[in-house]
Structure 1
């Protein structure tokens, strides 16, 4: 069994199994913009919080385009974070385009011309950057013979006085402009040769090194601004604006970004709606049912599915945080996931996993009963209208906070307890059943079980770090 949640096959695009958050409608919007816009270059931005599924979305976009729009749109996926070990993004971006060309056309003359023009432009840009030229050579973008022809420039770039470098840059400015224009013409030829527009998706901009990610958007504006190209820049905008400040100081980052991006999008918001279950008691949001589908991909125990999905929804957890919960479940409680066990034991597992991902110190405070029940209920956001799942979680919290003497009276099968608490009735029935079933309770000491349910379960993940 894999500990980490298995990623879906995004090559299939927006299948019902993949698109559990209902985001195909945003893909349709983006596809229509790419298809219906003029041939002039356009730059779109996708802004959303970390962990909300931006990468999953754009990978499904790639799969959907390849599978259903291959006759109309070329698509490129570029991970800025994985490429930022390089000093400059230009070579990586050109390589991504060339790889796409190789698969989309058998026109060798066109491919060779594009490669030649790209080399000339990049060499012109990097003539005085020795590391970049070495990168060209190691990436086999230039031959040894070509390198021999420019190695003097490398030596001069290291040793020549600054004023000579400036003079050559001024004198060579017109040539540099020509090389850039030739490169843009070559990019526009892709649309002419393939008859398709190109959607170039650049992901993880907010995670890449500041100089690298800023280099990307500036090159998109100044070098890749070519007919037939549409760029989709994917980021957490607020974090990326902090990146801009690191480089340029306290400028108006929003104005700066809008110089590059024509139109911004967010992932579709799931609007709450009342859905009445068959028991006619529980009103839940659409988000809850989506989390149920997600958790249900990895868990069969319906008690865990229901309670964990409820806690995730009430606390506005992101998809990434939900993935951490799934990983903890699979790592620490695998034997509880395959079938329905005792309800409150399953609820206890869900509550512990949720608390561990939400806030480790909060979980420890809960185990040591440092918060009053009402305060703890507020902290985990389960105040409000009553329903079965909430009632069960509240009962479990009440049970955990009971005095040990009262618990002994309630759950000892040999004692006819006069203590009665309606909220705890279901817990009492379940634990009595546990204690009277030797096949289930074998190996447990009664005192240990009734007093330390959460502590016993916590032992399974006590030493797990998930930050």
Structure 2
């Protein structure tokens, strides 16, 4: 399996954390479903690739399958989609031969929703004959009224018989998967099969819910551990969209995840620093030393809750603005500030630019006067103190206001 990230770059020093998490997983006893809980854009996919890189080494004690839920979100069959990836990986990695997967493949299809969709009509057709399927709706209607006709009685009997058979088939699938997994682990001298699922929080709520339900009910196997990268807060909100705003989605998710792991936000400043240098050092030598970025980054990261994906977008956009316009070096920090502002709080940013004919202190009062959040305090401090003290050009509120208004116009004209 080809991994998509450049492992030479580990500004957040997460490679070691990935190794430690793997060591933790290896010591676990029994079946578990683990959530790697972090916001979208915080580097979960790269972290997973660090884990996979480590597991690809011969000394590792586990084997793994990697499944991207978002890439398969188009299908109405989450279970079959996951099993297809598992079977393909088993064959691709030469864990087991194709012929040895025939039994478990047939059992996976037997319990899939695809078979279930047409089961009622099929049962009635088999029981009553091809000309009698038109009586199905009459049979259901009689059940609703409490009357049991010959047709509805056949439907009752066949439905419960099918339910019993479905349960048996599901149990057979789990047993077959258990045997297949044990066979692979024994032949490869490994301890566990880790099934890694990425980007579940980006999927349709119905897809995510059904996938989790199938994992819970069909994969309760001692040697199997699921490691699922997800933004639990986002997924929780998505589930409420299905079950209603009053639904306790956090408790619901606790049914599936018995362990929660997290990504530390340490070294975010170093990551930002390296990105700044990568984009701007050729044009502005020693760019990172030019401004007090350590203070700026630390406060911005905490107050605006910036993610790695936010950094990438903001810095690349700042670079484009810098190259396409006559931006002076010391104005770069103002550009970054305004882009962060627009990214993290578009409503406040729009209020900000709607009043761009006023001076900067008046804008500050209009936008942030009623808020004492870390975000508002950071914005007030930055506008009234940090920017104003950076350069002789910014020594007065009037000059700062003029500069800010000019840069806002440039940003809006260069909008990506």
Is TM (by shorter chain) over 0.5? yes
| Normalised-by-shorter TM-score class | 0.7 to 0.9
- Higher RCO (C-alpha 8 Å, min separation 6): 2
| Structure 2 match to 1:224 | 219
- Once the two structures are superposed, residues 385-438 of structure 1 have per-residue CA deviations (whole angstroms, 9 ceiling, x without a partner) of x9xx877537554456239xxxxxxxxxxxxxxxxxxxxxxxxxxxxxxxxxxx
* Unaligned segments of structure 1, at least 5 residues: 1-8, 132-148, 271-285, 404-450
Alpha-carbon deviation of 1:363? 5.5
CA contact (8 A) 1:84 1:209 kept: yes
Match of 1:242 among 237, 246, 261: 237
Aligned residue number for residue 398 of structure 2:
401
For the pair 1:295 / 2:276, whether they are aligned, the reply is yes
How many Å apart are 1:181 and its aligned residue? 1.8
**Helix, strand or coil at the partner of 2:360:** coil
Report the alpha carbon displacement of residue 372 of structure 1 after superposing the two structures with TM. Answer: 1.0
- Matching residue of 2:413: 463
| Structure with greater proportional helix content | 2
Whole-Å separation in 2 of the counterparts to 1:64 and 1:399: 55
CA distance in 1, matches of 2:194, 2:133: 37
**Cα shift at 1:459:** 5.0
User: Partners of 1:453 and 1:257 in 2: how far apart?
Assistant: 49
Conserved 8 A contact 1:311-1:354: no
Matched with 1:380 is: 379
1:37 matched to 2:18 = no
Residue 148 of structure 2 corresponds to which residue in structure 1?
A: none
290-299 vs 94-103, greater mean Cα deviation: 290-299
Match of 1:50 in 2: 40
- Cα distance per residue 1:179-226 (max 9 Å; x no partner): 212211222234323224222122222221111111111111001222
Is the CA contact 1:43–1:263 (under 8 Å) kept in the aligned structure 2? Answer: yes
Provide the rounded CA distance (Å) in 1 between the counterparts of 2:52 and 2:180.
Answer: 19
Superposition TM-score, scaled by structure 1 size = 0.66
Q: Tell me, which stretches of 5 or more residues in structure 2 are unaligned?
A: 141-151, 369-375
Name the SS for the 1:206 alignment partner.
helix
1:153-173 superposed Cα distances (whole Å, 9 cap, x missing partner): 8x9999834455553231123
Please show how residues 98-109 of structure 1 align to structure 2 within 5 Å. Answer: 98-105=87-94, 106-109=96-99
- Contact 1:304–1:350 (CA under 8 A) maintained in structure 2: no
| Deviation at residue 69 of structure 1 after TM alignment | 5.4
User: C-alpha distance in 2, partners of 1:362/1:176?
Assistant: 58
Aligned-partner Cα distance in 2 for 1:33–1:330: 41
Task: Report if aligned partners of 1:128, 1:157 keep a CA contact under 8 Å in 2.
Answer: no
Confirm whether residue 172 of structure 1 aligns to residue 167 of structure 2.
no
How many Å apart are 1:48 and its aligned residue? 1.9
Alpha-carbon spacing, 1:210–1:346, altered in 2? closer, same or farther (3 Å): closer
The CA distance in 1 between the partners of 2:26 and 2:124, in whole Å, is 45
Match of 2:390, SS?
Answer: helix
- Tell me if structure 1 keeps the 8 A contact 2:78–2:211: yes
Distance 1:344 1:332, change over 3 A: closer
1:264-286 C-alpha deviation (Å, 9 max, x unpaired):
1111232xxxxxxxxxxxxxxx5
Secondary structure at 1:50 match in 2:
coil
- What residue is the counterpart of 1:211 in the other structure? 206
Structure 2 partner of 1:357: 343
Q: Given the alignment of the two structures, is residue 128 of structure 1 paired with residue 128 of structure 2, yes or no? A: no
For the 8 Å contact 2:39–2:231, the answer to whether it is kept is yes
8 Å contact kept, 1:46–1:235: yes
Query: 2:253 aligned to 251, 257, 263, which one?
Result: 257
Partner of 2:263: 267
Of 69, 75, 86, 1:97 maps to 86
